[in-house]
Copies of this chain bind each other. A is one copy, B any other.
Amino acid sequence: MSAIQDEIDEIDTPALHRPDVYDGLADAVRELLDATVRTRIAAAEVEALTARLRGVSRELLVDAHPGSLGRVRGADEWGGNPANPVDGRRNAFAQPLQIHRDYENQRAAARFSLGAPYEGPPEHIHGGVIAMLLDQVMGMVPAFTDTPRMTAYLNVTYRRPSPLMAELGVEAWVDRIEGRKTFVTGRIADADGRTTAEAEALFVALKPGG
């Protein structure tokens, strides 16, 4: 391929869908987020590093999507939002989850481990982060593939604290479907298989164009 063709491809390919380009950047910001929470270097050094980060932001924003990526994707393009705060690859707070989808049993599952930036009670995951993860994975059961839907309710029960920096599992499955309504159950379990949190959610499919 010629250099000119390369250049055209670069312009034409929506920047949104270029994990090869932006994943490394997001990973670096993910590291920074963690380092910023944990660092204890001296004040004088922090100031200089802060200035360097502001310089990088300015360069990234020389050409940027205005507003959010949803505006770029459009209201119809629902899935695979790279900015998603729970599992978006371009969102440095998000944990890009390797979701295992079991189509036969209408089940989604993933393993994950969270560090310092996700702490609520000392050495445990923030209850709100637990709710956020459940909402995301419960909305990813195979029944929903590519179907725009809204969460109608999400009820989370906390059984025991979820430890930080430990492997945890999250899974979700369809409980029942009634027309546009899908009732989903989800849970988070520790490495010993003990449930730390469980949830029930109702998702309602949007009407076409709705």
Contact for A70 among B36, B64, B124, CB less than 8 A: B124
* A69 beta carbon closer than 8 Å to chain B: yes
Contact mask A139-180 → B, CB, 8 Å, 1/0? 100000000101111111110010011000000000000000
When distances are taken between beta carbons in the complex, the residues of chain B under 8 Å from A122 are: 68, 70-71, 73-75, 77-78
Asked whether, in the complex, the Cβ of A33 is within 8 Å of the Cβ of B28, the reply is: no
Cα distance A170–B84 when bound, in Å? 22
* A12 beta carbon closer than 8 Å to chain B: no
Say how many copies of this protein the assembly contains. 2
When distances are taken between beta carbons in the complex, the residues of chain B under 8 Å from A39 are: 15, 22, 25, 60-61, 63-65
* A96 beta carbon closer than 8 Å to chain B: no
Give the size range of A's interface with the partner.
35 or more
When distances are taken between beta carbons in the complex, the residues of chain B under 8 Å from A104 are: none
Asked whether, in the complex, the Cβ of B117 is within 8 Å of the Cβ of A83, the reply is: yes
Question: 11 pairs across A/B with beta carbons < 8 Å?
Answer: A28-B53, A29-B36, A31-B53, A36-B92, A40-B64, A41-B59, A83-B117, A127-B135, A128-B135, A131-B131, A153-B157
